Amino acid sequence: MAGKLNLKPSKVYFLQLVDEADGAALPFVKVGVTDGPIATRIASLQTGNPFRIVEYAHIESEAGTMVERFIHRTHADHRVRGEWLRCEPAMLDAIVAEAQEYNSDLSLKAPLVRDYDQMVAVDAVLPASTEAIGLRALAEPLLLKKLEVDQRAKMVWWRLKALVGSAGAIDGVVKVTVTEPRRTFDKRRLKAEHAALYAQYCVKPTHRCSFNLLKKPTVAALPELKREVALLADAVPEIAIEDVRTDQVMPRDARIEALHAEWLELEVQKSLIGRDLQQIELDIRHLCGANSGIEGVCSYKRTESMEFDADAFKGDHPTLFSQFQSVGQPSHKIELLRARSYA
């Protein structure tokens, strides 16, 4: 729980597909977010779609992206692709009600905390009140449970990594991405070698916000799980990037589908734990207010600074800019899909 919560006002929409031949709704719904008219969003999606897209419901939210993300992660086992869920009408009503309930809690607290996030904190740490201590105590078992679920998810990830081997994907379950080396600009080296010039381009006003609960549990509190994750990791051979066959897609089998289902269930658990932790965090941020922390409970830093403007520097000094560029290494990313298109 660091930095800004996404507390931007927006609309969370629920869109259905309707077969115009008989007017029947198909068992698919798109859950998304927009800060513009929903009709405009529907029009942009309608092109190329053989079914009519209609609005089923929408929610005015003070933190629409958080509501949308919560729904997608909590119902990851019903996602088929992107923002589309497979669900029957009764389930859709339950999902909308779930989103409304979560939104009602968020929208009461979000406007005040949004204002606090955008200010510069004063250099003062509040003594811990009884309420702040109580909220931190409520967070402790949730943090420990989140840590446990994270470790169990890592175990599934390592098992699937072992199964994918050098292939580029497991159909509907794992996606492997290999990216080319990227050129990056080394600001630190420029600052060290040309400090005065660097300072001339520190002209971009930047607001930074970081929030952290203090004394959070670490994986050392779960020694058995930590050991199991380490054993699984050690047993998986490292695949050289040049050996990855991105065009090879492995078929699923029952074991792979079971691991995917286990991982998606862990994602659901993380989403529910995250929801409860976010509510506690909002309450603690509100108690902290303009201060930079609460003793023994949290730190809540918000600062303004002038950041280096790399684009302006490149325009004025293209040759020097290129001299301070470096080429990184190609990257190899293994991603488990938060959807079951095959179910």
Q: What's the CA dihedral at 194, 197, 202, 204 to 10 degrees?
A: -120
pLDDT score recorded for residue 274: 94
Q: What's the CA dihedral at 142, 105, 272, 30 to 10 degrees?
A: -160
pLDDT score recorded for residue 107: 87
* % of residues, the chain, pLDDT over 70: 99
CB 180 within 8 Å of CB 285? no
Angle in degrees, CA 118, 119, 121, rounded to 5: 130
CB 251 within 8 Å of CB 167? no
pLDDT score recorded for residue 2: 40
Number of residues in the chain: 343
CB 171 within 8 Å of CB 252? yes
pLDDT score recorded for residue 236: 95
CB 28 within 8 Å of CB 17? yes
pLDDT score recorded for residue 4: 59
Consecutive 10-residue averages of pLDDT for the chain (343 residues): 73 93 89 95 90 94 94 91 87 95 91 93 96 97 97 98 95 93 93 96 95 96 97 94 92 96 96 94 96 97 96 96 92 91 81
- pTM here is 0.88
Token pair for residue 122?
């004063």
pLDDT score recorded for residue 77: 87
Task: Give the residue ranges of DSSP H helices in the chain.
Answer: 38-46, 64-74, 89-118, 130-164, 187-193, 195-200, 223-235, 254-288, 310-316, 318-323
CB 325 within 8 Å of CB 187? no
Nearest to 320 by CA among 191, 222, 213, 231: 191
